[in-house]
Amino acid sequence: MAKALIIGGAGFVGGYLADHLLCDCRMEVHMTKLPGEQIEREEMKVYNLDILDREAIIGLLFKIRPDYIFHLAAQSSVGIAWKNPGLTADVNIKGSINVMDAVRELYYKPRLLLIGSGEEYGYILEGETPVTEENRLRPGNIYAATKACQNMIGNIYARAYDMEVMMVRAFNHIGPCQSPIFVVADFCKQVAEIEKGKREPVMYVGNLNTKRDFTDVRDVVKAYALLIRTGKAGETYNVGSGHAVTIEEVLKLILSLSEKEIRVEVDANKIRPADVPVIEADIGKICQTSGWTPEITLEQTIRETLDYWRERV
């Protein structure tokens, strides 16, 4: 049975990826979390790990000897990265280098998937959408710059040390259980609170004109599991829906599913120092390489995310 290690598994994607690897791919799954985080799962072994501790990663890899390593650990919020750029660079760049250096210490070559972001493309020019993996990177925020750096170093390690490292650029992924610091979860949580009468019927929003490419997290993890097996070392693959929508369209869809009349107001705190206008993925490369295509519609994801928040607020 193939052994998979998920580094940074306590976040949004980790649980979904573990479910897919366990149930659909029939892999033995090991997962790491930060010491303060909670994961209660009996079907797999869970370890404490801070990726800033290189020696601890080496020790863990020698203990588990995984065939596949999914590196999810990150400071993954664009908003927090503006407020704490140093920490974001430490975790997303230094931490990833630590993971790659630890993999180099092994006496065999596991396959490693580094998770980057569609944000790496940054300011995409007219005529460059949907954006291909070869497009020039013009990161528009600190988080994006750290992920672009991780991608470049991954490519360098794959070539220089003949490592089986593949990179993905994941565009916005959404679904139940996502933290409300991300836009779709934030809007759904607000609607659920309004429906329960826990707040006035006003939805607070940031910039509604930006266009983003949303994919259900369950489709995203299927892409990761396929890529770690079929991807080519040193290559980067976009993972997205291939279709960008404005935040306003997403908002309208969420409001149309609400049981109450809701007024929309701009909250200055939700406006970022800079926002990239359009981010849309060309997903031809991953589809060709792995046979992956996204299956869950935006409406289904939003319905399920809203229901998730209705059960929790």
C-alpha separations of 72 from 12, 14, 188 in Å? 10, 7, 25
13 lies in the binding site for ligand A2R (CB under 6 A): yes
75 lies in the binding site for ligand A2R (CB under 6 A): yes
Question: Rg for the chain (alpha carbons), in Å?
Answer: 19
Residues in contact with ligand A2R, counted by CB under 6 A, come to a total of 22
Among 21, 74, 102, 192, binds ligand A2R (CB under 6 A): 74
Among 31, 61, 93, 117, binds ligand A2R (CB under 6 A): 117
Stretch that binds ligand A2R, among 46-54, 158-166, 204-212, 235-243 (CB under 6 A): 46-54
Residue type, 203: M
Binding letters toward ligand A2R, positions 196-225, x by CB under 6 A: ------------------------------
Whose tokens are 């949004």? That residue is 12
93 lies in the binding site for ligand A2R (CB under 6 A): no
Among 22, 52, 233, 255, binds ligand A2R (CB under 6 A): 52
Stretch that binds ligand A2R, among 74-82, 229-237, 246-254, 276-284 (CB under 6 A): 74-82
CB atoms within 10 A of CB 248: 15
Measured N-to-C along each axis, helices 142-160 and 95-105 cross at an angle, to the nearest 10 degrees, of 20
95 lies in the binding site for ligand A2R (CB under 6 A): yes
76 lies in the binding site for ligand A2R (CB under 6 A): yes
Among 44, 103, 158, 170, binds ligand A2R (CB under 6 A): 170
**Beta carbons within 8 Å of 36's beta carbon, 6+ residues apart:** none
Closest CB to ligand A2R among residues 12, 121: 12
10 lies in the binding site for ligand A2R (CB under 6 A): yes
Burial of 91 (0-12, 13-18, 19+ CB in 10 A): buried
50 lies in the binding site for ligand A2R (CB under 6 A): yes
Burial of 88 (0-12, 13-18, 19+ CB in 10 A): buried
Measured N-to-C along each axis, helices 183-195 and 298-312 cross at an angle, to the nearest 10 degrees, of 50
Enter the DSSP assignment of 269. G
Please give the residue whose beta carbon sits closest to ligand A2R in the complex: 11
C-alpha separations of 105 from 6, 30, 206, 215, 311 in Å? 18, 19, 45, 35, 46
Q: What's the rounded Cα separation, in Å, for the pair 254 and 92?
A: 32
73 lies in the binding site for ligand A2R (CB under 6 A): yes
Q: What's the rounded Cα separation, in Å, for the pair 116 and 87?
A: 17
Altogether, the residues listed in the chain come to a count of 313
Q: Report in angstroms how near the CB of residue 39 gets to ligand A2R at its nearest.
A: 9
Q: Report in angstroms how near the CB of residue 167 gets to ligand A2R at its nearest.
A: 11
Q: Are strands 215-216 and 111-117 parallel, antiparallel or unpaired?
A: unpaired
Closest CB to ligand A2R among residues 60, 254: 60
91 lies in the binding site for ligand A2R (CB under 6 A): yes
100 lies in the binding site for ligand A2R (CB under 6 A): no
72 lies in the binding site for ligand A2R (CB under 6 A): yes
19 lies in the binding site for ligand A2R (CB under 6 A): no
Among 25, 27, 46, 51, binds ligand A2R (CB under 6 A): 51
Q: Are strands 211-213 and 244-246 parallel, antiparallel or unpaired?
A: antiparallel
**Which residues are at the interface with ligand A2R (CB under 6 A)?**
8, 10-14, 34, 37, 49-52, 72-76, 91, 95, 115, 117, 170
